[in-house]
Amino acid sequence: MYHPYVLRNDCQRAHAIIVPRRINRKVGLAFLASLCLIFLYVTVIVEWGDNVSWIPHRLLHLSNSSFLIPLADGKTVFYTNYKFKPFMPKYLLNNPNICHNIESLFFLVMFHSAAFHFDQRKFLRQTWANKDLLRTHTMRVLFLVGLPQESSIQERLQKENDQHRDIVQGDFIDDYHNLTHKGVMGLKWISENCKNAKYVIKIDDDVFVNVFYLIETVLPVVEKHPRHIFCYTRENNTVARNGRHAVDKFYFPGVRRLPFLFCAGPFVLIPNAVVVKLYAASLRTPFIWLEDVYLFGILPLVTGNVSLFHLPNCHEDPNNALECFSSKAKCDILAAFAWDGKTMFSLWNYNLRQYNERLWRFV
């Protein structure tokens, strides 16, 4: 039989040994968990890079290498401090023959569309973006989409593409924060499949374009400036750190306002030779999720010898556009928002009525 004192001392000695072991076990488990997280983190970034669309945006900042943007005045602005692997999208839906067998393709209209915007695409095909509309200036249409998160939308999208053959879908989630991926995919697709187009119109799927005004009034100016991008330009924009358009501290650290111009994205007209150069620049320029800033602000500067040309009448409110097209003999609005089918068809019908006596010049 054990003496109580001896038993109490044995328990105290055992507790003194067991407690440190428990502590060491917890430390060891925490250390192993940390190693696993580091291994997973490095594997995802290094091996998969930007081709994995679900990687959280903030996880893409690993390198201590900085990237500077050359400004027009010979100076530079600090952009970001991380490298990336060039974005090489895979096409889930592709129509590489859209531009083929056309000797003098004048316009390729490239829409940034959402996968579920079935009605918007239908309205566009039935109005100003009908690929067979223009006789004098041949036009083809391309809709860029990402991957929807609902299988039923993907099935409908497949059927739509089977009918029209004008959709290109990338292997990234169709999300507002992936618009840069969508834009670079479009640049890549054109560089591979549509070098014969003279001009590319990058546009959103909720925008109406006065194609007759474009041909009559804007093109003569465009043809005199082959190294320019034509759009509604913005300057001195605040670098947002909060809100919907916020970018984190890794981009433009210490910069309060962007020291360069960029295009507001709803309507951008680009000579095709410039498109190829923009895509080449994207292969060496880290992404920022703000597509307008990246595609038509940063990439032209990285490309060099490409300037922006301001078009004041291609960013109009739909109400102003309806009033202009319905009341004037000739409305000088080039592009306006049309957020629903009724507005799109109203603008189109007013537009046709204005050009009724001159349509023979175009169609």
Structural domain includes residue 254: yes
Taking the C-alpha atoms of residue 343 and residue 55, their distance in angstroms, rounded to an integer, is: 38
**18 with 101, same domain?**
no
**177 with 233, same domain?**
yes
Q: What is the DSSP letter of 282?
A: H
Least trusted range by pLDDT, from 166-170, 180-184, 235-239? 235-239
How many angstroms separate the Cα of 91 from the Cα of each of 94, 145, 147, 236, 263? 6, 10, 10, 36, 27
Structural domain includes residue 150: yes
pTM for the full predicted model: 0.81
What's the mean pLDDT in 216-238? 95
CATH of the domain at 118: 3.90.550.10
Structural domain includes residue 78: no
Average pLDDT, the chain: 84
**44 with 95, same domain?**
no
Place 303 in a pLDDT band, splitting at 50, 70 and 90.
very high
pLDDT at 257 over 70: yes
**175 with 278, same domain?**
yes
Is 306 within 8 Å of 228 (Cβ atoms)?
A: yes
Q: Which amino acid is at 35?
A: L
Structural domain includes residue 344: no
pLDDT at 26 over 90: no
Is 233 within 8 Å of 139 (Cβ atoms)?
A: no
Place 72 in a pLDDT band, splitting at 50, 70 and 90.
confident
Taking the C-alpha atoms of residue 8 and residue 10, their distance in angstroms, rounded to an integer, is: 5
Structural domain includes residue 315: no
What's the pLDDT tens digit per position in 115-153?
999 999 999 999 999 999 998 899 999 999 999 999 999
Res 55: pLDDT: 29
What's the mean pLDDT in 233-244? 91
**30 with 100, same domain?**
no
- List the one residue out of 298, 317, 319, 343 whose CA is nearest residue 72: 298
**47 with 97, same domain?**
no
Structural domain includes residue 82: no
Res 24: pLDDT: 59
**160 with 253, same domain?**
yes
**39 with 174, same domain?**
no
Structural domain includes residue 133: yes
Res 6: pLDDT: 38
pLDDT at 301 over 70: yes
Structural domain includes residue 100: yes
Range of the domain at 10: 4-51
Is 272 within 8 Å of 198 (Cβ atoms)?
A: yes
Place 363 in a pLDDT band, splitting at 50, 70 and 90.
low
**187 with 301, same domain?**
yes
pLDDT at 275 over 90: yes
Q: What is the DSSP letter of 238?
A: B
Report how many domains make up the chain.
2
**16 with 123, same domain?**
no
**97 with 187, same domain?**
yes
**217 with 169, same domain?**
yes
Place 43 in a pLDDT band, splitting at 50, 70 and 90.
very low
